[in-house]
Amino acid sequence: MGFALATSSPSASLTIKSDVLKAPQNNRGKITGLNHLTLAVSDLQRSVAFYSEALGFAVKMHGPSSAYLEAGDLWLALVRDPDMRREPLLEYSHAAFTIAAEDLPALIDQLALVGVNRWQESDRADSFYFLDPDGHKLELHSGNLDSRLQARSVSHA
């Protein structure tokens, strides 16, 4: 049995044999978190302004074709890409940023003032789904995995 990698290129394929997958021994090779998130952007200056001014990221480096920003433990890399797509992806994939529950309403109001577009409505008060200037799907989320699992168990009971 194997896992096939989905690819848009018919010539590129990868099969991972699940029978050779093993749990890391002695915690070596174990993923411990998200190191950084890199987003391709069409207009670097606009994206740096959005992430720093609207979302509060600290700009650590701003060059001609890339910028590095930081929020909490998250390192965000923005890279100018002239081949950037022009619309949001149709799929559900998105990046979710952690925010304190008491700060979420004010940031939602601030994002509304700068005209962000929502890509999904939420029936929960702990999430806000919106698009960045290049159509990347983002979420502000004030919960954690435990609260999400608890909400799921209640809704599926």
Catalytic residues, which ones?
139
143 CB contacts (<8 Å, ≥6 apart)? 101, 126, 127, 151
Nearest to 65 by CA among 45, 35, 86: 45
Handedness of CA 35, 100, 128, 155 (dihedral sign): positive
80 CB contacts (<8 Å, ≥6 apart)? 40, 41, 42, 43, 44, 64, 65, 66
Helices (H), 20-103: 44-49
Q: Which residue has the tokens 């978190």?
A: 33
Residue 103 phi/psi, 5-degree rounding, is: -95, -15
In the numeric block, which tokens belong to residue 68? 């590095």
